[in-house]
Amino acid sequence: MECDSLSDRTYNHVAFKINDEEFDIYEAKVRALGVDLKPSRPRVEGEGRSLYFYDYDNHLFELHTGTLSERLSRYSR
């Protein structure tokens, strides 16, 4: 992201969809960068998996294996 560094960390974030089969590959790549990862939050089965991490300027990013429509469908059950 191009902007000033953030002084505080928030939950405001940019999310990117990834394939579930590639989750472990992306997680390894992010961990190799040495950035701060947020602990995973509890998930409802079928909601998908997420990896949250901060860049060096305190911007939060998410890599997620599901879609919004899949999440909403799962929550409606």
Annotated catalytic sites, by residue? 62
DSSP string computed for 6-47: PSS--S-EEEEE--GGGHHHHHHHHHHHTPEEPPPPP--TTS
